[in-house]
Amino acid sequence: MSKVVVSPAEKFSLKISEIAPDKSISHRSVMFAMLAEGTSVIENFLRAEDTMNSLQIVKNLGAKVLDTGDKIEISSDGIQESFEVLDCGNSGTGMRLFCGLLSSANGHFVLTGDKYLRSRPMKRVTAPLKDIGAQLDGRNNGDLAPLSIRGASLEAFDYTSKIASAQVKSCMILAALRANGVCTYTEPELSRDHTERMLKGMGAAIEVNGLTTTIHPMKKLLSPLSIRVPADPSSAFFFAVAAAITEGSDITLEGVTLNPTRIEAFKALERMGANISYEMKENKYEPIGDIRVQYAPLNGIVVEENISWLIDELPALSIAMATAKGESIVKNAEELRVKESDRISTVVEGLRSCGITVDEYEDGYKITGGKLSSAQVDSDGDHRIAMSFIVAGLQCGMEVTDLECINTSFPNFFELLQKITNIEISGE
């Protein structure tokens, strides 16, 4: 099994323009291209396992894809039945959004994924889709992949979701675009809104009013997408934490999406005491710009609101919390239990093995800040757990095993980390 040994870092000052492109936007860009007339052009597509799987799936669904390396051009004559099983790999976003896209397509489709994805709950999308006439099934009564879909005619809906999930919302918006009437989707808290922004930019009739999104069925194909994918704030955040816990450090992360539903973890780190500034440089589909993070001593905080805005960054934020003065509490974050790993237990166990006192709750944890000590931590196949504990190693040294998962979202992570400290990677 692969292993990295990370050495403690000295203070650093860096500008990074090569943070991995945004995963959420990359997935969506290739899927939404299938709803357009003409050729969509995608620059800076994330070439990581999760998103390359989505690109392969749209090819399997008949899209014509021209990949020149610099950009990807996609055109489609409509979704075709696939000869292949559609493999989403590790990606919940891939699987849940394809459910929405394929529920009304002509034909029969099978979606699967790796052993982690095949254990994650899918009823959150299969149940509301079945309620509007979709023909979907899967193991455990439609909750677990592999999932099968036979495209069907979908009824209009007014759906209120109990969870703030952009994956469920996006799935239902995609279904609504081809339903038999105007649909509404209401969520308990605003989740990331890339789907709404991108589809509106392509000409879809979507209105957002507070927590309710109204979707008018497509009367014709949408305009093609022309997008340069910004850097992923969830990936950038590992380096933000690196600077925030390494005395005297200063880092600028360039070309990141500054979408408010994505930068809440930076706001939390700011509340802890780090000096953070944002400079907007452009605005196409989303605001995009640079984030600068400068070290300052950190204090504990409570995180209990807008959880879906920082759900993916909580493992890395927890490393900052473990080094902060005083207690930090994370609440209302039960969704962490159904991510790529049960991130409440992987964070709690990992921090405890680094000598930190942590109390575990059903929906979060309490971390008593202290001094991290060097340990051996296994990622449990979860990319964000692997990268979070590697970043912890910048303070105390660390050995982290099971690293292949990092390729699902941030293939050049180690290349960038080497600008900060020495690392030794071994194993296959």
Tell me, residue by residue from 43 to 82, as one string, x for binding to ligand S3P by CB under 6 A and - for no binding. Answer: ----------------------------------------
Backbone angles phi and psi of 162, in degrees to 5: -85, -20
Stretch that binds ligand S3P, among 54-62, 163-171, 246-254, 393-401 (CB under 6 A): 163-171
Tokens of 351: 């921090």
Of 198 and 396, which CB lies nearer to ligand S3P in the complex structure?
198
Stretch that binds ligand S3P, among 143-151, 268-276, 304-312, 318-326 (CB under 6 A): 304-312
Residues 208-247, one symbol each (x = binds ligand S3P by CB under 6 A, - = not), give ----------------------------------------
Taking the complex as a whole, the smallest distance from the CB of residue 100 to ligand S3P amounts, in Å, to 11
| Cβ neighbours of residue 343 closer than 8 Å, sequence gap 6 or more | 314, 315, 336, 337, 382, 384, 385
Contacting ligand S3P (CB under 6 A), which of 54, 76, 90, 191? 191
CB of 95 to ligand S3P, least distance (A): 11
**Do 12 and 420 contact (CB within 8 A), yes or no?**
yes
Per-residue contact string for residues 16-35; x = within reach of ligand S3P by CB under 6 A:
--------x-----------
Contact between 407 and ligand S3P by CB under 6 A: the answer reads no
Q: Which of 87, 312, 380, 402 is catalytic?
A: 312
Strand, coil or helix: what is 212?
strand
User: Running DSSP on this structure, what letter comes out for residue 106?
Assistant: S
Residue 312 among the catalytic residues? yes
Q: Report the distance separating Cα 25 and Cα 115, nearest Å.
A: 24
Window contacting ligand S3P (CB under 6 A); options: 70-78, 175-183, 287-295, 305-313? 305-313
The continuous run of DSSP H or E covering 87 comes out as: strand 86-87
Q: Counting every residue, how long is the chain?
A: 428
Q: 221: which DSSP letter?
A: P
Nearest by Cα to 299 from 263, 264, 275, 323: 323
Q: Binding to ligand S3P by residue 166, rule CB under 6 A?
A: yes
- How far CA 4 is from CA of 136, 320, 343, 346, 419, in Å, comes to 42, 20, 21, 18, 16
Measured distance CA(102)–CA(61) in Å, rounded:
10
Indicate the residue whose CB is closest to ligand S3P. 24
CA dihedral defined by 379, 385, 386, 388, rounded to 10 degrees? Answer: -150
* Per-residue contact string for residues 326-365; x = within reach of ligand S3P by CB under 6 A: ---------x------------------------------
Catalytically active residues, by annotation: 312
Q: Site residues (CB under 6 A) for ligand S3P?
A: 24, 93, 165-167, 170, 191-192, 308, 311-312, 335
